């Protein structure tokens, strides 16, 4: 947490918040370094590493070849020697090229070697639909739910982005850090000082009493829009942002479900195979007696996502679909 709760808040964009976190951790800990494609003199395709090369030098901010296997595998090797790498893939859609390293090596190394090693490594994965094509516009977080050795972190605000990234860098476990590309330009207040957000702790983005909407990443924004519209109809929506999927803060989710008895789960990934199905199953298995209506999921349609931004609007979930889902169980 921040040291001075009375100090004024600093308004930063999501991208700037990521940059601030990297800058502060590079300055704090000599074992931290970052590497990836075009993160040095270019400053990253989303600007999140701008100025860091000039400030911290080429041994701490390292441009790599276009090779996701090398980026992730090299990061793992560095982590095993005691360094704390923050590696960036230009697009989360390229995770498949490094899937063996991510799923079989980074996530499982500590367990495969009887706990003799730690893997203090962060993998930054820009994700989400933005009209950039099939290999870029993906939300693959659910594919890593069974990679049990790695934490899955998904911030939705600049404050969470900064605080969670700083916590991830200090964590001795590997962290898959998903950043929705549409959020980079959004802005919000960030507490001053050494702002840390604990991993595995959900946040109530909007308190309410009638329906629980569980959403992460970009869908938090859509959920808050939906909640404001529904408030005019007398429906009080509570928006719960888990801020990640592993560890999942079941306590906060269960407390909300016990209060409202109605649940909508919203995420951008397709409904089939999406993480919302796992969250819904957990609630159904452990909180069925509290439910007063079926759990409803709001997600992208089960089709290949078009590249056209115009056509994407017919596939991607929006606030209107959350409004309809809440109405259907209210």
**pLDDT (0 to 100) of residue 95:** 86
29-64 pLDDT tens trace: 999 999 999 999 999 989 999 999 999 999 999 999
**What string of DSSP letters covers 161-186?**
HHHHHHHHHH-SS-EEEEEEGGGGG-
Does residue 136 carry a catalytic annotation? yes
**pLDDT (0 to 100) of residue 93:** 78
**pLDDT (0 to 100) of residue 125:** 95
**What string of DSSP letters covers 240-280?**
EE-SEEES--HHHHHHHHHHH--EEEEEEEESTT-HHHHHH
Regarding pTM above 0.85, the answer is yes
**pLDDT (0 to 100) of residue 6:** 63
**pLDDT (0 to 100) of residue 306:** 86
**pLDDT (0 to 100) of residue 1:** 47
| pLDDT beneath 50, residues of the chain | 1-3
**pLDDT (0 to 100) of residue 3:** 47
Helix residue spans in 132-234 (DSSP H): 158-170, 219-231
Percent of the chain beyond pLDDT 70?
Answer: 97
The answer to whether 159 and 188 have CB atoms below 8 angstroms apart is yes
Cis before residue 247, ω within 30 degrees of 0? Answer: yes
**pLDDT (0 to 100) of residue 9:** 78
Residue of 56, 113, 136, 195 marked catalytic: 136
Strand 61-63 and strand 203-206: the pairing is unpaired
265-299 pLDDT tens trace: 999 999 999 999 999 999 999 999 999 999 999 99
Helix residue spans in the chain (DSSP H): 14-28, 52-56, 68-80, 99, 109-112, 158-170, 219-231, 250-260, 275-287, 309-312, 319-329
**pLDDT (0 to 100) of residue 310:** 85
Domains of the chain (ranges, CATH numbers): 10-190 (3.40.50.970), 203-329 (3.40.50.920)
Torsion sign, CA atoms 160, 162, 163, 165: positive
CA dihedral 35, 37, 40, 43 (to 10 degrees): -120
């Amino acid at each position: 947490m921040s040291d001075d709760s009375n100090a004024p808040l600093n308004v930063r964009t999501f991208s700037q918040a990521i940059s601030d976190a990297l800058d502060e951790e590079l300055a704090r800990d000599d074992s931290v370094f970052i590497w990836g494609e075009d993160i040095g003199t270019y400053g990253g395709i989303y600007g999140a590493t701008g100025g860091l090369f000039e400030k911290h030098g080429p041994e701490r901010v390292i441009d790599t070849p276009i090779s996701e296997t090398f980026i992730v595998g090299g990061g793992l090797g560095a982590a095993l020697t005691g360094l704390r790498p923050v590696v960036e893939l230009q697009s989360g859609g390229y995770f498949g090229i490094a899937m063996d390293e991510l799923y079989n090596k980074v996530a499982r190394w500590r367990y495969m070697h009887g706990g003799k090693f730690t893997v203090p490594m962060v993998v930054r994965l820009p994700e989400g639909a933005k009209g950039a094509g099939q290999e870029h516009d993906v939300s693959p977080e659910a594919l890593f739910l069974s990679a049990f050795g790695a934490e899955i972190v998904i911030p939705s605000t600049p404050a969470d982005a900064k605080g969670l990234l700083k916590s991830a860098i200090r964590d001795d476990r590997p962290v898959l850090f998903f950043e929705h590309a549409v959020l980079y330009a959004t802005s919000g207040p960030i507490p001053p000082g050494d702002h840390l957000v604990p991993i595995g702790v959900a946040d109530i983005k909007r308190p309410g009493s009638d329906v629980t909407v569980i959403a992460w990443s970009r869908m938090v924004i859509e959920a808050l829009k939906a909640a404001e519209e529904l408030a005019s109809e007398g429906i009080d929506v509570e928006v719960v942002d888990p801020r990640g999927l592993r560890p999942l803060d079941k306590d906060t989710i269960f407390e909300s479900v016990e209060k409202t008895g109605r649940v909508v789960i919203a995420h951008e990934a397709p409904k089939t195979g999406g993480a919302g199905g796992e969250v819904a199953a957990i609630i159904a298995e452990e909180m069925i007696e509290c439910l007063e209506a079926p759990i409803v999921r709001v997600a992208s349609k089960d089709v290949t996502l078009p590249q056209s931004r115009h056509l994407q609007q017919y596939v991607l979930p929006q606030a209107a679909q959350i409004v309809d889902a809440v109405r259907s169980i209210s």
